[in-house]
Amino acid sequence: MPTQSDAPQGLSRRHALQGASLVGTALAVLHLSACALPAPNPSDSAMPLAPPDPPPDLPPQLMPVQLVINGQTHALTLDTRTTLLDTLRDHLSLTGTKKGCDHGQCGACTVLIDGRRANACLSLAVMLDGQQITTIEGLAKGAELHPMQQAFLQHDGFQCGYCTPGQICSAVGMLDEASDGMPSHVTADLAATRTRLSDDEIRERMSGNLCRCSAYPNIVAAIKDVVGAKA
């Protein structure tokens, strides 16, 4: 019988295989136990935190402003968020300026601010204190129509008429821009002091004013009529 000193030293191959088998069996039992556990119930988990309450609405910030519209001064106290378009229509009853898209994309609300075209829906009224604002109501001189208004009538430059006030105001401003030598995307001679308004020039310069009735050929004809009268 071998003595203790004669026993093999270290771990035998047989013992290593037995240990590995025991470890594998234990892992398999743990896996099966985990699969047998019931699925967690969402109601047992902690409820998510409720979102914080939104901040309270701030009261309107009012500001006095003097708007010079069609040569007449109007002293108003307005919410600083009020657009020129809403001021004209809701506070001054000047409803000739139309609200189309209210996003500055259709041109129906075009007015003239210090002689330049602008979308009234994108202009805050309180920023225009003291500036000269011209709407469609201010183009005519009493019963005498502005030449552009008369040309639109003669050439039937409108159908439903909703975009017409913005079209006319835009056309008036566009003629002044061309007279000042302001180029457009299709202008060939950028150094010219006065731009010749071809059909392409007129279409390009009026492209910000949309007409759902598609009266564009008649609008171009009306503008060319006024251009010819000025030439």
For 192, list phi and psi in degrees, rounded to 5.
Answer: -70, 140
Residue 117 lies in a domain: yes
Domain boundary among 116, 138, 160: 138
Q: Do 173 and 128 share a structural domain? A: no
What stretches of 11-163 show up as alpha helix (H) in DSSP? 13-36, 84-86, 147-154
Q: Do 114 and 70 share a structural domain? A: yes
Q: Do 171 and 126 share a structural domain? A: no
Residue 49 lies in a domain: no
d(CA 186, CA 194) in angstroms, rounded, equals 14
Domain boundary among 119, 138, 157: 138
Angle (CA) 76 143 216, round 5°: 85
Question: Which carries the bigger pLDDT value, residue 218 or residue 20?
Answer: 218
Give the residues across from 65 on adjacent strands.
76
Q: Do 130 and 67 share a structural domain? A: yes
d(CA 151, CA 103) in angstroms, rounded, equals 29
Work out the average pLDDT over 86-93: 98
Q: Do 133 and 83 share a structural domain? A: yes
Q: Do 213 and 151 share a structural domain? A: yes
Q: Do 176 and 151 share a structural domain? A: yes
d(CA 178, CA 200) in angstroms, rounded, equals 13
Domain range enclosing 95: 63-138
User: Is the pLDDT at 10 greater than 60, yes or no?
Assistant: no
Residue 168 lies in a domain: yes
User: Is the pLDDT at 210 greater than 80, yes or no?
Assistant: yes
Domain count, the chain: 2
d(CA 36, CA 31) in angstroms, rounded, equals 9
User: Is the pLDDT at 5 greater than 70, yes or no?
Assistant: no
Work out the average pLDDT over 28-53: 66
Question: Which CATH number do you get for residue 76?
Answer: 3.10.20.30
Question: Which CATH number do you get for residue 206?
Answer: 1.10.150.120
Q: Would you call 40 helix, strand, or coil by DSSP?
A: coil
Domain boundary among 106, 138, 170: 138
User: Is the pLDDT at 9 greater than 60, yes or no?
Assistant: no
pLDDT cut 90: percent of the chain above it: 68
Residue 12 lies in a domain: no
Q: Do 224 and 160 share a structural domain? A: yes
Q: Would you call 53 helix, strand, or coil by DSSP?
A: coil
Residue 210 lies in a domain: yes
Length of the chain equals: 231
- Among the residue ranges 13-17, 147-151, 199-203, the one predicted with the least confidence is 13-17
Q: Do 94 and 127 share a structural domain? A: yes
* Confidence (pLDDT) at 7: 46
Q: Do 151 and 226 share a structural domain? A: yes
The end-to-end CA distance of the chain, in Å, is 132
d(CA 181, CA 56) in angstroms, rounded, equals 51
pLDDT in tens, 155-189: 999 999 999 999 999 999 999 999 999 999 999 88
Residue 17 lies in a domain: no
pLDDT in tens, 43-84: 555 667 888 888 888 788 999 999 999 999 999 999 999 999
Residue 25 lies in a domain: no
Residue with tokens 């006319």: 168
* Cα torsion 220, 221, 224, 225: sign: negative
Residue 38 lies in a domain: no
Question: Which carries the bigger pLDDT value, residue 60 or residue 136?
Answer: 136
* Cα torsion 107, 112, 116, 118: sign: negative
Centre a 10 Å sphere on the Cβ of residue 92 and count the other Cβ atoms it contains.
17
Q: Do 151 and 211 share a structural domain? A: yes
Task: Tell me how far CA of residue 61 lies from CA of 43, 75, 77, 86, 90, in angstroms.
Answer: 47, 17, 10, 16, 18
